[in-house]
Structure 1
Amino acid sequence: MIRRKVLVTGGAGFLGSHLCERLLDADCDVICVDNFFTGRKENIAHLMGNPYFEMLRHDVTFPLYLEVEEIYNLACPASPVHYQFDPVQTTKTSVHGAINMLGLARRTRATIFQASTSEVYGDPEVHPQREDYRGNVNPIGPRACYDEGKRCAETLFFDYHRQHGLNIRVARIFNTYGPRMHPNDGRVVSNFIVQALRGEPIAIYGDGSQSRSFCYVDDMVEAFLRMMAAPDAVTGPLNLGNPVEFTIRALAEKVIAMTGSHSELIFRPLPEDDPRQRQPDIAQAREILGWEPSVQIEDGLERTVAYFRQLLDR
């Protein structure tokens, strides 16, 4: 059997570790690259005995020389707590990382997938968000290191495609949740579950009326694989996410009920530039990839709660 050689940057992270699993299941030879800023060895420890899995500690802001056929570029802290910790490094990871991975793809003629983000839409004035919406981003705000870094990375991907004929795939990922989320990443699902399991007050920023759409990790990884396998003309950008929308308050109440917690809700000021609404229009993903999420929020939350319950009991 000839196995595809696949590189996953950020492979020890939440999404990356699930992707590495699926690629191994598909008989790929997987190289996982991570600098462990937010990635965790626990996420990939169970893969280390697989002879077709290789772990490389490396920072994508420096060039990497490998022979691969496909590249999934997932390397970048994705939660405000982490990407605002060192905003200059966050921008470097998005921009220098993209340049280095695109350079590798150009040399090896690999197809390269970019994990972009719904944050390219900023605080949107169009709802739901479609791929042709150009966004409402504050370029000098505290979230700009991530938002504008990812926007610049998209620019680089399409310039390499036009200038060098590179096969690219650009996915705009909306809120995703599931097992292996970092317990201290500050994202709303992990925050609420950890606080509820500990019996702590659940902190809602703003009045809780702002909305998000939550996609379970298995559905998201399936979309990644379908997009990579699509014809070369499918460059994206494609929205990937769950179009079912929830208010933040409704999510908190659902988590409290599911965990049997007695946590109370407390309200704190909304962070600067925090989006009021976030909901993907996934018509293109449905049409082009034949994909839409299948895991219901109740089922996904149940699996995620079980993961965090086990994690906190250690």
Structure 2
Amino acid sequence: MVNILEDDFKYIINSEVDIDKFRDSSVLITGATGLIGSLLTRFFLYLNSRRNYKINIYAVIRNQDKAEKLYKNYSTNDLNYIVADLEHDNVNVLGNIDYVVHAAAVTKSKLLISKPVDVIKISINGTEKILDLAVKKGVKSVVYLSSMEIYGQPKIQGIIREDNLGAIDLTNPRSCYPESKRLCENLCAAYNHQYGLNVKVARLAQTFGAGVLNSENRVFAQFVRSIINGENIVLHTEGKSEGNYVYTADALKAILMLLLSGTPGEAYNVVNENNHTTIKQMASDVIANFGSSRQKVVIDIPKENMGYAPEVHMKLSGEKLEKLGWKPQFDLNEMYSRLISWMDD
């Protein structure tokens, strides 16, 4: 199923993003073994191997063995591993850096409730180190990857734009994730104000598609495994939360566009407005479109705290990013079709 990923890369190359501006540049990507970080790394490797872009890639990772397995099918002559624990270690780069994408984050639900202090420290300390490095190196542009969870519980109904922040329960340890993301966004704004750093924030909706890792255990991957195995889809919540979604290739386009344009110090929602539904409805649609008549949606709520985000009802606006020229193309049905093909391989 590498062809699906290659199709995605061709789609990005032929999109509204001026990819040629990355030719002969150097790019640093944190979280290069995570979903978005690995896809960006593979995209730049693809540009080098198929288009001779001569991009020098610095991949910040925690586990080199994991990285080498992930990139074993790619020519890695232009890939430089930087092994670092961003909570404690500085990131040392000898050469110049043109662009930075800070994608590293703790996202596993159980860790968010079992080690909330660690989550906050990794988030804040890591972001500070990367922004300091960007200032030191005089980079052209930085994109920090944030999350739709920063909106908390919206105070308004209807379309949620970038300035419509809601409440976050600060007594809930699980809030370590959205609250630390908020502070990191403010750090980005502060670095822009104090040091003139060209940094923008990409607030990603739930992102999935071709290229997800074997270790992925978020709800969309669980749905697909159930379809492939001919099993019922089991929900561990009532499934009433309203989700906002975007395909991986569309998300990559957004990040690349923000590296090249946008207003420094500001945040942008990355969401396909047409991809909005409840978790339960999405599960039902996946079975209807890709499953069998024997499969159904089952609700089985565990007694233990699984670390899931609080139930939320909101629909994100993608208008601000779309005004820059970004155009998401893949709807939920296409997202699942491509993801099933990828994971089934």
TM-score clears 0.5 = yes
Find the aligned partners of 2:25 and 2:131 in 1 and give their Cα distance: 18
Q: Partners of 1:218 and 1:31 in 2: how far apart?
A: 21
Deviation at 1:273? 5.1
Q: Does 1:16 align with 2:37?
A: yes
Are 2:127 and 1:98 aligned? yes
Note if 1:136 corresponds to 2:167.
yes
Name the counterpart of 1:65: 92
1:24-173 matches, cutoff 5 A = 24=45, 25=47, 27=53, 28-36=55-63, 41-47=68-74, 49-61=75-87, 62-66=89-93, 67=95, 68-110=97-139, 111-126=141-156, 127-173=158-204
Q: CA shift at 1:185, angstroms?
A: 4.2
C-alpha distance in structure 1 between counterparts of 2:300 and 2:137, whole Å: 49
Give deviations 1:87-144, integer Å, cap 9, x for gaps: 2222122100011001101111112210011111013233322111122211231421
Tell which deviates more after alignment, 3-12 or 130-139: 130-139
Change (3 A) 1:40 1:269: farther
207-216 vs 258-267, which moves further: 258-267
2:225 corresponds, among 191, 194, 209, to 194
Deviation at 1:9, TM superposition (A): 0.1
Query: What CA deviation, in whole Å up to 9, does each residue of 1:167-196 have, x standing for no partner?
Result: 111111111111333455442211211123
Residue 331 of structure 2 corresponds to residue 299 of structure 1: no
Q: Deviations over 1:206-254 (max 9, x none)?
A: 43332112211000000000010015x4432111111121121221122
Equivalent residue, structure 2, for 1:267: 299
Where 2:100 maps in the other structure, the secondary structure is strand
What is the CA-CA distance between 1:55 and the residue it aligns to? 2.5
CA distance in 2, matches of 1:29, 1:188: 34
Distance in 2, Cα, partners of 1:182 & 1:2:
27
Q: What does the per-residue CA deviation read over 1:235-292, in whole Å, with 9 as the maximum and x for residues that have no partner?
A: 32111111121121221122223443433322134967523224211111111x2113
Q: For the Cα contact (< 8 Å) 2:103–2:145, is it kept in 1?
A: yes
**Aligned counterparts of 1:209 and 1:101: Cα–Cα separation in 2:** 37
How far apart, in 1, do the equivalents of 2:320 and 2:60 lie? Answer: 30
User: Contact 1:141 / 1:273 at 8 angstroms: preserved in 2?
Assistant: no
Q: Output one character per residue of 1:30-66: Cα deviation in whole Å (capped at 9) or x when no partner.
A: 11112149x765443323x232222233222221121
**What SS does the corresponding residue of 2:273 show, helix, strand or coil?**
coil
Given that 1:30 and 1:54 are in contact with CA atoms closer than 8 Å, whether structure 2 keeps it comes out as: yes
Unaligned runs of 5+ in 1: none
> How many equivalent residue pairs?
306
Identity %, equivalent residues: 24
Q: Is 2:328 the partner of 1:282?
A: no
Distance 2:82 2:217 in 1: 27
**What is the SS of the residue equivalent to 1:20?**
helix
* CA distance in structure 1 between the aligned counterparts of 2:172 and 2:270, rounded to whole angstroms: 25
Distance in 2 of aligned mates of 1:44 and 1:258: 33
**Which deviates further from its counterpart, 18-27 or 245-254?**
18-27
Report the 3-state secondary structure (helix = DSSP H, G, I; strand = E; otherwise coil) of the residue aligned with 1:17. Answer: helix
**Partner secondary structure for residue 316 of structure 2:** coil
Contact 1:43 1:180 in 2 (8 A): no
Aligned mates of 1:33, 1:70 — CA distance in 2? 13
> Residue type of the partner of 1:202?
I
Query: In structure 1, how many angstroms separate the alpha carbons of the residues matched to 2:67 and 2:297?
Result: 30
In 1, distance between residues paired with 2:120 and 2:227?
Answer: 33
Please provide the CA RMSD for this pair.
2.4
Any gaps of 5 or more consecutive residues in structure 2? 1-21
1:176 aligns with 2:197: no
Matched, 1:236 2:266: yes
